[in-house]
Chain A
């Protein structure tokens, strides 16, 4: 894929989102370079998930613009976002309990596959595509060490497993940008370490850009190439992990004592 020269991959410009009188995002601007892992941090209510929902077109901002690879995202409906190269996971999971784990992951391939009702009903035209999708889904499941759950249903599986299933689904569309909303929440200590290495290695394997919302500072500092700090719907700082850790304003707003932050 050709890179857009000198243009950032994601350009968020002066976005404002209000819920009644509450300002969730108050003129947020930032840009994201292609490649690398960028973390979005900030206290609860800073507007991180709101930004994800704007980029996924689940929320309509009252003003501002979002450009992805030179394309105006706000002109697209929600279901066109995935086919334009953006995939995401959810803080509180958005899986389909009525489907098997394998089918849940295969849904992620929706933007990369074709076929209407007739083709589906007559089975024959879509059979090789279906086989390819299934093979690919099984590969992704195996990559994330989930293959033994393929036939299971999501109901009753551990939380950490469900989070990885969601990650698997998001990878199925071969995204250029992956939005991860608090992937480490609810995971055990060892699971978090494993997750950090999974994120960095899939970033390379799938050659994508990752935008990460996370409260787990240890993980943020270890995986991020850059960090954007938000507070009350605005960006208050931006930089490398080292710069952020020594930024006085960030420390005041969020991190607390620097010794703690580096732990």
Chain B
């Protein structure tokens, strides 16, 4: 029991920090952290697909966009609520993901990456094609009818905190985002630790082993593509609502968005639950904290610096930040062991779990 509590302590602390944070920070930071959450959810989805199942997608920016547009249209045109619209977006993106996942059964590795790259590249152009509905590059405001100076008008949607809660709009939005983010992370954690999760990793590492053990490889792969896309859709839906005056445009869902997710997964640590969140935060810190501090003439080369840091990280620790953390804590544990050995204790005969994925 105490061991259980000890293992969970960091999570409990993290949860408390996340809940208290918006009450302590100024509204700039509350807004900034709110914007990181959709990225973390999309990266979580991509990690399920790429990290755990071994299917590479460079097209999750498109699914993120599909989620954003579905949410926007459901709210503006169909008058759905926020939560309903985001769930709707996840369902739509699940089916789009299944559609991409079906041909993905026949192609693997680099070829799959190329196909998803095509999806990512085509997506902004599809938006332009249907610019009547999507607003094209001009964009689309997410509005709802609101009473304004005594009459009902279409105004940008707002996150109105429940009366008596004492929360500001941005704090309420933060909690709304946080709740969805936590639910997504908990669901994926359960999934990964289940029989389904084991079969995902088995498919990634050894398809024959999976099939012979009774795993329906094809259906598991397609479903994973769908679930991963649904998460990207939820992230996209939240991203659409993240700004004060929610507005989306085709320019926000380019190939670059897809690459952000991939970077977040790899930097945070592929095939770990918390990795994508850490990756998204690291990326956000880089953009929001480090970049403004850079001297003016270096700012233009931000992508170059980011790329350089990425290469250094991958060379020193392919497991990302989570991998680095595991390696360090294993080293600390070994050191403690050695100390207790010297003190005359017997070395326990259990095999300590080595680093590398799936926690």
Contact = CB atoms under 8 A, between A and B. Distances in A.
Q: Do A and B come from one complex?
A: yes
Interface of A: 56, 58, 77-83, 87-88, 90, 94-100, 103, 106-111, 113, 115-117, 120-123, 126, 129-130, 133, 148-149, 151-153, 155-156, 169, 173
A140 to B, nearest CB: 14
A120 B195 CA distance: 7
Interface in B202-219: 202, 204-206, 208-217
B191 A79 contact: no
B197 interface: yes
Given A79-B216, A82-B212, A156-B354, 9 more contacts: A90-B208, A110-B195, A115-B196, A120-B191, A120-B194, A122-B190, A126-B194, A148-B350, A153-B354
Nearest to A86: B212
- B interface residue count range (under 10 / 10 to 19 / 20 to 34 / 35 or more): 35 or more
Interface of B: 187-188, 190-191, 194-199, 201-202, 204-206, 208-217, 223, 227, 271, 349-354, 356-358
Contacts, number: 124
Contacts of A90: 208
B94 to A, nearest CB: 10
Give the one of B209, B214, B223 with max A CB within 10 A.
B214
B351 A149 contact: yes
Contacts of B216: 77, 79
7 contacts: A90-B208, A98-B356, A100-B353, A110-B198, A113-B195, A121-B187, A148-B349
A107 B213 contact: yes
A152 B353 contact: yes
B27 to A, nearest CB: 34
A123 B194 contact: yes
A98 B204 contact: yes
A79 B210 CA distance: 8
Contact of B206 (A81, A82, A94, A152): A94
B25 to A, nearest CB: 31
Given A149-B351, A151-B351, A152-B351, A120 B213 contact: no
